[in-house]
Structure 1
Amino acid sequence: MLKNQEHRLAVAPMMDWTDRHCRFFHRRLTSRALLYTEMVVADAVIHGARDRLLGFDVEEHPVALQLGGSDPAKLAEAARIGEAFGYDEINLNVGCPSDRVQSGTFGACLMKVPDLVAGCVAAMKGSVTIPVTVKCRIGVDEQDPEPALDALAGGVFNAGADALWVHARKAWLEGLSPKENRDIPPLDYDRVYRFKTRKPNEFIGINGGIQSLEEARVHLDHVDGAMLGRAAYHTPGILAGADAAFYGAPSEAFDFAALIDTMAGYAARHIERGGRLGHVTRHMVGLFHGLPGARRYRQILSTDANRPGAGSDVLKTAFAAVDFGGRAAEAA
């Protein structure tokens, strides 16, 4: 078995979205898919409020910490801290194209300095016992994706990386916003497939534009893992079928009523600690996409859940608005 082969499906790290509440919710839908944190800058891990930045619920496992940075020593220290917090994997961001990331000389701009990335991976590998992985693009700006991906990937695997997740688009550091960089550069899945044929003994996962579990399964004919991003966030109900589709779990109806009960209890505990209901429910708005009553469900979570003093009962009220038509336990 390849290293990391158990992680055939993953939910991508997404800034402002995949926080601890999102991950706890997603874990209720799939027990096996690998979940990622938002990117956390190495300096923040070292000098910031670690409990706030790195804290997570034990039920989120398996969960990976994604780090941003370009200083090998700082990344090594941040990786050690992440391992001590209990994360199952440390991932290096070599794909984010935001202005903030570029100003710090990390993220997608690191595609231009593969030797530095390899040095970062080697330092992180030397500091932890858990897997160290990389998430990258196929290239940036005017780079030719053929040599660009080969150089980056060859370096990180020689440095000991346990897996490479490739967002199958270029990133344009000039002229496109981060949002545009998620849509405008064309997808080139074949480029990732070609690379995998040359690295049969290394774990290569693919990301970018995957809209369903069915599409993810098709990719697994060519690569080792598939990573869902916005589709998992905006229509999270698709994750309810992931364990059966990818991990051999029994194919059976999903108990959404039990899910809501669990999330209501989780939200109540968060509120008791001084949090707000909306911190939790904002990640659940798209759960019942396509079902009668889903619009009313979304309205309740978007308005009532954000009112001052809102309690977890709002979540149950929203759930009661959904009409399953005899499919109350099926995946939405």
Structure 2
Amino acid sequence: MYAQALKSKQKILSVAPMMDWTDRHCRFFHRQLTQNALLYTEMVVADAAIHGDRQRLLGFNDAEHPVALQLGGSDPEKLVRAAEIGAAFGYDEINLNVGCPSDRVQSGTFGACLMKEPDLVARCVKAMQEAVDVPVTVKCRIGVDDQDPEEALDRLAYGVFAVNADALWVHARKAWLQGLSPKENRDIPPLDYDRVYRLKERLPEKFIGINGGIKTIEEAEQHLAHVDGVMLGRAAYQNPDILADVDDRFYGARTPAPDPFEVVEMMAEYVRDHLTAGGRLSHVSRHMIGLFHSRPGARAYRQILSSEATRPGAGPEVLLRAAEQVRVAAQAPAA
């Protein structure tokens, strides 16, 4: 069903792959807020997928579908093996990272470094396409360092689409591999949405998605007038309640938006199972800090989760008590 949506260029909203954030607990939580948005894993290095603890790195809950596995690497043979493993796990898409600017990916010659090697990216995509039956996509920047974004993005895009990549997601800013930290690379290079729009105009039959600095559902709708998909990053993580409008606004689901208090109750059940399996409350609750963003009582909610969820023996009652602070504040008479 998801693969068909890509082929028909249906509008897609997704939550970006974010290192240290979009783990399986985060994705399960986001899925309680939207049944339709495409969710992404954190980047998993191909070597880790091949040689590491696969269940820990790649395991996910069936409720997360549609969910995509993002891989990092530049060796076609290793990427093929990792893609095959991911497809066997049941992922709906395999995505190649050509955008991460961290020191770790630079030393490994993958991530944003690959913007300088579009032919190698195309070989990697072609190899994975021939190995798996699920969509193979790419996430990139508009360029790196002193590259001309007009030339760099076109070369990469035309190269990967020539070998039948199913989609290209573009973070609409450069990455500076020298001189800026990974954090600075998320904010300092200026956004150039028009560059991504021009790419879509040049490739009207291809699926082009946009990412970078998109803060609201309203902004996402504006971008969808120009491209096929929108990827929300930190906005969805820090204020996850915005995902509650996704199914209605983008997928035509005529159902009420999820109630955040009911979401907390569902997550409390999830936490019970996680604790039984040997996990800790904080593994889950850290992703829920922003659920009641800007609502009365949100500060007390955050304080309880931040101070109590890491304590030994903390359980789902901490989640429920934190949410109760918001419920009480909402019922309090106006001053």
1:97 aligns with 2:71: no
Unaligned runs of 5+ in 2: none
Residues 136 and 167, structure 1, Cα contact 8 Å, conserved in 2: yes
Give the alignment of 1:280-319 within 5 angstroms: 280-319=284-323
Residues 11 and 250, structure 2, Cα contact 8 Å, conserved in 1: no
SS at 2:39 equivalent? strand
Partner of 1:74: 78
User: So what's the TM-score if we normalise by structure 1?
Assistant: 0.96
CA distance in 1: counterparts of 2:283 and 2:213, whole angstroms? 26
Partner of 1:330: none
Superposed displacement of residue 256, structure 1: 2.1
CA distance in 2: counterparts of 1:226 and 1:205, whole angstroms? 5
What is the number of equivalent residue pairs in this alignment?
A: 327
1:234 aligns with 2:238: yes
Partner of 1:192: 196
CA distance in 2: counterparts of 1:288 and 1:224, whole angstroms? 30
What amino acid is aligned across from residue 50 of structure 1 in structure 2? R
1:21 aligns with 2:47: no
Residues 7 and 34, structure 1, Cα contact 8 Å, conserved in 2: no
Superposed displacement of residue 253, structure 1: 4.5
1:276 aligns with 2:280: yes
Q: Percent identity?
A: 71
CA distance in 2: counterparts of 1:270 and 1:5, whole angstroms? 37
Moved over 6 A (4+): none
Equivalent residue for 2:126, pick from 122, 127, 141: 122
Give the alignment of 1:13-92 within 5 angstroms: 13-92=17-96
1:160 aligns with 2:159: no
CA distance in 2: counterparts of 1:184 and 1:255, whole angstroms? 36
Residues 4 and 162, structure 1, Cα contact 8 Å, conserved in 2: no
SS at 1:37 equivalent? strand
Superposed displacement of residue 254, structure 1: 2.9
CA distance in 1: counterparts of 2:43 and 2:112, whole angstroms? 13
Residues 7 and 33, structure 1, Cα contact 8 Å, conserved in 2: no
Equivalent residue for 2:224, pick from 195, 220, 224: 220
CA distance in 2: counterparts of 1:325 and 1:304, whole angstroms? 22
Query: Using a 3 Å threshold, how does the CA distance of structure 1 residues 194 and 288 change in structure 2: closer, same or farther?
Result: same
Superposed displacement of residue 237, structure 1: 0.4
Kindly indicate which of the two structures has a greater share of residues assigned to helix: 2
Equivalent residue for 2:186, pick from 172, 182, 186: 182
CA distance in 1: counterparts of 2:10 and 2:266, whole angstroms? 26
Partner of 2:211: 207
Superposed displacement of residue 299, structure 1: 0.4
CA distance in 2: counterparts of 1:211 and 1:43, whole angstroms? 34
1:223-244 residue CA offsets vs partner (Å, 9 max, x unmatched):
0000000000000000001101
Superposed displacement of residue 249, structure 1: 1.1
SS at 1:139 equivalent? coil
SS at 1:283 equivalent? helix
1:59-81 residue CA offsets vs partner (Å, 9 max, x unmatched):
00000000000000100110000
CA distance in 2: counterparts of 1:61 and 1:46, whole angstroms? 23
SS at 1:266 equivalent? helix
What amino acid is aligned across from residue 269 of structure 2 in structure 1? G
